[in-house]
Each structure stands twice: as structure tokens, then as C-alpha cells.
Amino acid sequence: DALKLKLTHEEEKKIEERPTGNAEAYELWLKGKEYYLRTTAKDVEHALTLYEEAARLDPNCGQAYASIANTSLAIYIQYSPTKNWLKKAEAATQKVREIEGETGLYYCMCSRIAIRSGNTAEALRLAKLSVEMAPSYALAYDVLGFAYQAMGNLKAAAEARRKLLDLQQNSILAHFVYAISLYELKDMKRLKETAEQAVPVFERHLQLNPDDNNARANFTSILQWAGRQDEAFRSAEELYASRSLDGKGLYN
């Protein structure tokens, strides 16, 4: 009141939203998000452990099970393509349904599973349902973008990722996947503008997480697209000499 701060109804709603009323489970879930975003195999596996502990502390936390599903899929896609991880994601997604019903969150996870199961048309249908039911849920636009990309509709994928970025202006991943879409479209003008906007977001992240070399690998591409070639080249050389990058970081 003293600061005369005025929040919109949507902002108030966002502040009030928590996936669980259990403080310890909530803290574990937040820590899990931080580790998940670092994207190395070790960090992603640790994130899964934290999410599972959060679900144990609060068995009615649908978001914890959604995070278990999402992380299991990440491990399946990037590090261990065995069907056990896909089954784990499916089981966790069904827990979301038992707890919350057929919500935007549930359809979002179903879409991700459908993509990885090779059913792209069903993935697109489910992603559209997720966006329709939860238009302010950022991950819904992420899966919508992937579904369109899998269908070969790169323009629609870029539009979905633009909406993702609108919802997550401070997310390095939101900036990066949108830039990737523009690169695939060969829209170099918008790509340069987007990369320039992403630079301070990445710089802030790397100041807080100086050992996050996977983010630094993505930042190298951002620097290149922003026209800062000398910086990009130096960064690439430093990363190439590093022994701490995993396969995904090396690929990027």
C-alpha cells in the first residue's frame, strides 16, 4: 500500500498460485525446476529425485507429477531412450488426471508423450486442447510449438513459441527455442532482433550460474545470431576446450 503498487487481477492470481500447500514439497519442487533447467544428465536426474520427494510429501500435488512426467521424457529423449522412461512419464501423467482431472496441464503432458510415441497428429490435437483450456500456461505453447514443428509447419511453430516467450520473458529457454524457430524459417531480420533481446537475459542467467555451460553453449549461438561474431567465436573455442559439457551441450 505504501508503494502504491497496483497489480492486475491476472498478476494477483499468478502470485497466489502454488502447486502445493506443503511448504517443504513446494521448496523441493522449486529446486527441481532449477536443476532441470541446467539440462545435464546429472542435474536432470537430480531434479527427478526432488520432484519425486515433493510428490511423496504431497501426494495430491498434480504439478509434481507433471514435472516427474516431463523430466522422465527429457531423460528418455536426451540420455536414455528406453521404454521404461516413457512408461514412467505415462504413469505420472495419469496421476495428474486422477488429481486434477482432464486439465490443460494433463493434456499438455499427453501431447508430449504423443510426440515421442510418433503420433504427431494426436500430439497437435492435444496441444491445442491444452492451450484452449489453459491459455496462460507457458508449457502448453512449448508443446504446441513442438507439435507444429513435428508436422512440418515451421511458421505455426514459431508463432506458438512467440507466445511462449511472451509468457516467459526471463526464460533463456523460451528465448532460445523461439530463435531456433526463426533460424529454421530463415527469417534473419527477426532472428537478429530476437537474439539481441535475448543477450541480456542470458548474461543475467550466466552471472548467477557461471558454471552452466549448457546455457553458455546456447548463448554462443545467440551471440552469433545477434551479429557479435568475435564474442561467439571466443565462447565457442572456450567451450570446445571444456571438459564439463555433456553431449547436448557439445551438440549445440
Least confident of 3-7, 43-47, 75-79: 3-7
% of the chain surpassing 70 pLDDT: 93
- Tell me if 41 sits within 8 A of 246, measured CB to CB: yes
Kindly report, residue by residue over 109-119, the tens digit of the pLDDT: 999 999 988 89
Mean pLDDT over residues 35-61, rounded? 91
Each residue's pLDDT tens digit, 88-103: 999 999 999 999 999 9
Q: What's the pLDDT score for residue 78? A: 85
The pLDDT of residue 220 is 96
Half-sphere exposure of 200 (CA within 13 A, CB side): 4
The whole-number pLDDT of residue 18 equals 67
Burial of 64 (0-12, 13-18, 19+ CB in 10 A): buried
Q: Is the pLDDT of residue 235 over 90?
A: yes
